[in-house]
Structure 1
Amino acid sequence: MKKRSFGFSLLLAAFVMLSACSTGTETNNGTAENVGDNQAADGKVTIGLSISTQNNPFFVTLKEGAEKAAAEAGAELIVVDAQDDTAKQISGIEDLIQKKVDVILINPTDGDAVVTAVEAANDANIPVITVDRAANGGTVVSHIASDNVKGGQMAGDYILEALGGKGNIVELQGTAGTSAARDRGEGFHKAVDGKDGVKVVASQPADFDRAKGLSVMENILQSNGDIQAVFAHNDEMALGALQAIEAAGKTDIIVVGFDATADAVTAVNAGTLAATVAQKPEAIGQKAIETAVKVAGGETVETAIPVELELVTKP
């Protein structure tokens, strides 16, 4: 009886030891899975970037700035291109949510339409940061952009000075529903509205697109030949407008753009584009990544992070 009791005790001790080892393994797995809400076990931050389009040099530069900053920070960056399609952007953000990224950066195609995607990220406990353009709803941790109202006003003030306070002006608007178009237009009108001798004779959308800037400007010139200046909400439309103006032989018309893309700066230096407002897209992309890394690490960040503007004119 004593021998059987001793054997039973050994078996019981072995069982307890095995159970302890098994319990320890489960605890380690649980800890690994719970490093942050979504963050990988190795501590590497994964950031999703939903960008409105890669057909615009401004956003290409913004993406490149983000990629460079992500590499320097040791973070993984997943970029999805909406191709200026709201439905495609929402689908892309849903994919990022499914991938359980730590933070999502959104450059909206439409500030209203993107709200459902922002709310979906909120429901998944993934922080959202908007870049260059704002979302009109949902919870956003931070918005990183230039002061587009101030930039539009800078452009308007420059045009007023260049015209000597007198003349007819055309405004080429960006894509309806974007905060950039709304804010740049607001700033421009703050500068020029109510000024004696100055009149905005046409204000039409060209969707931030060079080809549309060309066609819209052609139509405006056909209906109204008495134009002294053009303000375009971005450089792509400004460069399209320049093509129409040059084809019409009206090279005395002042054209001002916005973004300071490489093509626009070249045109400014050549004297064909009067000025452009430099928004520094690379810096916007860089700040977006730096902010995302901080948010993923649990740090508190500013709700609005501005990027400096400057007016670029011929030296």
Structure 2
Amino acid sequence: MKKSALILISLLLVLLTGCSLEPPEWAKSNNNDNLDQIKIGLSISTLNNPFFVSLKDGVMNEANKLGMEVIVIDAQNDSAKQSNDVEDLMQQGVNSLLINPVDSSAISTVVQTANSLGIPVIALDRSSEQGDVEALVASDNVKGGVMGAEYIVEQLGKGAKVIELEGSPGASATRERGEGFHQIADTQLDVIAKQSADFDRTKGLTVMENLLQGNPEVQAVFAHNDEMALGAIEAIQSSGKNIPVIGFDGNDDALDSIQAGKLTGTVAQQPELIGELSVQAAKDVLEGKNVESLIAAPLKLVVKE
């Protein structure tokens, strides 16, 4: 019913404004110049991942500094739940939405609904395939994939046999990190297998166990995030092999694993900074300022010194 009501409202807005998606004043979110009266809705793909916990903390810290209210909802890696969550946030009268999509395609419908209601959307780490997003605040995922592949070539040489653990299908981060990785890997490495483990540590363990059995000649692993990389390390250690693994994110568990000599390295992001920058972008949009369509947070490759 909630989804139907929001769609009906959007259609009415189009009719009332001469087939324009610009709604009348009464239907717009209550954009207020007083920051302490601003309410932000934050939808996180999953809080079962330390990276996204840090991202949320960055949002909360910056919003607290500015006196903004934040409503946080965990989508639990369920795209349908996330769409319903965002609809709930819109019904609660949020002034802006910060969305970290589970699936970049599935989130498109509610982003378009927010557009029709005049609620600005900022995407975090992953974007929406359709609808207008004021800004994507993220690391350069393509560049990070390139960095991971280049490090493997540097360490093992051209032609090294590599397994790729992919993120959730449909997530923009999965496509972009894979794209960057394959810019190098397709000509300088031999990717003997690749499979999705949904950015999840437990799935990373299970998938890696299966891939090891079918690909005993593997020489390195590139994982689209640290959680899958840490799961892969467990599988590799249980097999008695010594195979370098490169992750992506730079979360605390990964950094500890690198220092302990287990995980080889990670393409480190700055999730708290991403959260902070997203709040600043929302503030600027609500104040009528222009923001860059892509706000990039720096990356660095972390290995044991």
TM value normalised by structure 1: 0.86
Q: Which amino acid aligns with 1:250?
A: K
Distance 2:29 2:194 in 1: 47
Matched, 1:66 2:59: yes
Q: Which residue of 2 aligns with 1:184?
A: 177
In structure 2, the CA distance between the partners of 1:217 and 1:37, relative to structure 1 (3 Å rule), is: closer
Q: Can you list the C-alpha shifts for 1:273-313, whole angstroms capped at 9, x where unaligned? A: 11101111000001001111111112111111111000001
Distance 2:240 2:83 in 1: 44
Pick from 24, 31, 56: which aligns with 1:39? Answer: 31
Matched, 1:173 2:163: no
Q: Can you list the C-alpha shifts for 1:189-242, whole angstroms capped at 9, x where unaligned? A: 1111122xx310001000000010001110011112111100000000000000
Q: Which residue of 2 aligns with 1:129?
A: 122
Percentage identity across paired residues of the two chains: 52
Pick from 209, 213, 232: which aligns with 1:222? Answer: 213
Distance 2:174 2:223 in 1: 10
Secondary structure, in 3 states, of the residue corresponding to 1:298? coil
Distance 2:68 2:127 in 1: 24
Unaligned runs of at least 5 residues, structure 1? 1-32
CA contact (8 A) 1:231 1:255 kept: yes
Pick from 254, 257, 270: which aligns with 2:244? Answer: 254
Q: Which amino acid aligns with 1:74?
A: G
Q: Which amino acid aligns with 1:171?
A: E
Q: Can you list the C-alpha shifts for 1:133-173, whole angstroms capped at 9, x where unaligned? A: 01000011111100000000000000111102242100000
Unaligned runs of at least 5 residues, structure 2? 1-24
Distance 2:34 2:257 in 1: 48
Q: Which residue of 1 aligns with 2:10?
A: none
Distance 1:115 1:40 in 2: 26
Distance 2:59 2:239 in 1: 40
Distance 2:212 2:198 in 1: 18
Distance 1:202 1:164 in 2: 18
Alignment of 1:209-288 (within 5 A): 209-251=200-242, 253-288=243-278
Q: Which residue of 2 aligns with 1:160?
A: 153
CA offset at residue 100 of structure 1?
1.4
Q: Can you list the C-alpha shifts for 1:15-36, whole angstroms capped at 9, x where unaligned? A: xxxxxxxxxxxxxxxxxx98x8
TM value normalised by structure 2: 0.89
Q: Which residue of 1 aligns with 2:102?
A: 109
Distance 1:189 1:216 in 2: 20
Q: Which amino acid aligns with 1:108?
A: P
Alignment of 1:4-19 (within 5 A): none
Alignment of 1:84-99 (within 5 A): 84-99=77-92
Whichever of the two has the greater Rg, that structure is: 1
Q: Which residue of 2 aligns with 1:8?
A: none
Q: Which residue of 2 aligns with 1:289?
A: 279
CA contact (8 A) 2:281 2:291 kept: yes
CA offset at residue 37 of structure 1?
4.3
Pick from 200, 207, 217: which aligns with 2:191? Answer: 200
Q: How large is the Cα RMSD of the aligned pairs?
A: 1.4
Q: Which residue of 1 aligns with 2:289?
A: 299
Distance 1:224 1:100 in 2: 52
Q: Which residue of 2 aligns with 1:28?
A: none
How many residues are treated as equivalent by the alignment? 279
CA contact (8 A) 2:29 2:117 kept: no
